[in-house]
Structure formats: structure tokens, C-alpha cells
Amino acid sequence: MTMCRKPAWKRDGFTLLELMMVITIIGFLAAMAAAVVTNLVTTAREEATAATILKIHEMLNQRIVAFEKTLKGSYLEKLVEQELERLEQVPSPGIYGVRPKVAEILVRKRLFKTNFPQRYSETDRIAAEPASDPVTESAELLYFILAEAEVFGVSPVDSEAFTTSEVTDTDNDGRLEFVDAWGKPLRFYRWPTRLINPDADIATSPARLVADLLIKGLPAEPAAGQGDALNRDSDDLLSLLQSETDRIANFADEFNEDNYHTIDTYHVPLIVSAGPDGQPGLYEPYESADPNKRGTLAMPISTTDLDALTDNITNRNRRAGGN
């Protein structure tokens, strides 16, 4: 009887090396799939955040246009007269001899500040109590401006204009705030002048590389011998505030960064999401007591390490399709 033998090349199962290779390949494919899924989720959140921010941007612009239409004619003249009287009554001592055109600029800025607040102390239209988390303050006030207050004849938007993923109460203080798709409060910077001019010195070159990350379509760089448009305030193209500061000794007590913003500096309202990393790269809007942390004016934490800024999504940068 002849016995059947297995061929020498035939074997049962896999070797340990082969198993390890298979496991390695499966792990690699799983890691790639996880990375793809993560990227898809991040992209979806970025797109959702951009859509929310641009929706807020359009609503904010409606109110800014109404603001501009209201401040004209006899109404503005009356406010200028009142402003000149107010300046003369500023204690220790009053501010006398302010030119009407300068008073008009101050009227515009003071009304803009109180109607588009980023801190509770800037408006009496909403009480500061209950105490809020300072990080949510500007996001809460931005929601208040759009959804709870009439601003220069523009009625509040219907609460149904926003979804529960766009509006929530992250600090449980009873006040809603706008959030991004990561559930983090948005930041509102009314006059982000320290983004343009981090050291508050118009004699130095504006921080174009920094500002360009958050604001699309900045005024073009000047030709040789011409002044830079980033060193101009759109409310004060003739630099009247600076000339008044030079002419009247205590005028700087009225117009300064504590009351308004950096003098002779470009600005547009900025709504900011910190993006996937959760780090805005800017000091928070409530930080202002320290002149080296002008968060109210969107001062960057660093002008050399810009990693935290690069993934931000704003109403005016390319990541959000802003303008």
C-alpha cells in the first residue's frame, strides 16, 4: 500500500512574519481611514462655522448701514452740539475749543461703541448681572445686538434664524451666545486696530502679514513716498483726532485706546472663530487693563509665531469667503 505524502512546498497556516505584515497593513489602512474621517469632520465643521459667521456678518452689516443712514442732517448737528457741551463738562478740567468736525467724529464713535458693544460696561441696554464668563461676553453681546435689540430701526431677527448648533449658553448664565461648530464662543472685535498696529505706533510699518490672515482685501501696500492706508481711520481720513491731540493738551484723555481705539489706524468689525485648535492667537476681547494685552482691539499674542492664527475663521478672511 502506497502512502500519500504532502508536497514539500505545502504547509498549514501563516508564518509569524506574514501575520505581522498583515497586521501592519491593516493598521496602516485603519490609520489612513481614521485620518480621512477626521479631515472630513474638520472640513464640515469649518464650513458650518464659516456659514454661521457670514450669516452674522450680513445681519451686523444691516445694522451698521442703518447706523450710517441715521447719523446725518439736523439729528447729527444736534448731537454734535451736545458733544461739545459734554466735553466742556469733562472733570478736571473740561476740554475746550474742540472743533465741531472732531466732535462729530467722537459722536460717531461713541454711538457706535454703545450700540455695538463687546463688553457689558460699554452699554446700559443690558444689565451685566448675572455675572458672565468673560470669554463669552462679546459672543453674548453680539447675539443681543442681533436677536434681542432694535438697532437704529432694524428689528431683532427671529430666533429661528439660528440653529441650536449656532447659539447656546456655554457658561450657563442664562444668556445665549454665538458659538462655532466646535461649540466654542465666537469673539467679536469692534475696532481691531491692534491687529493692524500691534505696538500702537503709526510710525512703524503696519503688520500686514498678521492682519492679512484674518482680513481679506486689505488696502494695497503704498507706492514709494506715499502714506499707508492702514495708517488711516475711515472715520477720520484727515487725521483730525491726532491734530486735536497735538493742539489741546488734555484731548488725549478723551480719545485713547481705553475709550475708543488706536489712533489713525484702519479697522473693520471682526467676528472670529478660533478654529480647530481652539486657540484664537489674539488676546480676548475683555482684556484691556494691561496695555500689552489690548484684547479689546484684537492684539495678536505674537507677531512672529502665527500658527494659532492660521486656522482662524473670520467674517473677513479667505477661509470663510469673507470680504
Per-residue pLDDT at 31 exceeds 90:
no
pLDDT in the model for residue 124: 83
Per-residue pLDDT at 187 exceeds 80:
yes
| Mean per-residue pLDDT of the chain | 89
pLDDT in the model for residue 198: 95
Per-residue pLDDT at 308 exceeds 60:
yes
Q: What percent of the chain has pLDDT over 90?
A: 68
Distance of alpha carbon 64 from alpha carbon 322, whole angstroms: 17
For residues 102-114, give the mean pLDDT: 96
- Which position has the higher pLDDT, 144 or 249? 144
The band of 2, judged by pLDDT with boundaries at 50, 70 and 90, is low
- Which position has the higher pLDDT, 25 or 38? 25
The band of 323, judged by pLDDT with boundaries at 50, 70 and 90, is low
Per-residue pLDDT at 319 exceeds 60:
no
> pLDDT tens across 44-63, in order?
999 999 999 999 999 999 99
For residues 174-196, give the mean pLDDT: 96
pLDDT in the model for residue 87: 94
* Residue boundaries of the structural domains of the chain: 49-320
Q: Which residue has the cell 453681546?
A: 141
Q: Which of 301, 314, 316 shows the shortest CA–CA distance to 273? A: 314
Most confident range, picked from 12-26, 31-45, 134-148 = 134-148
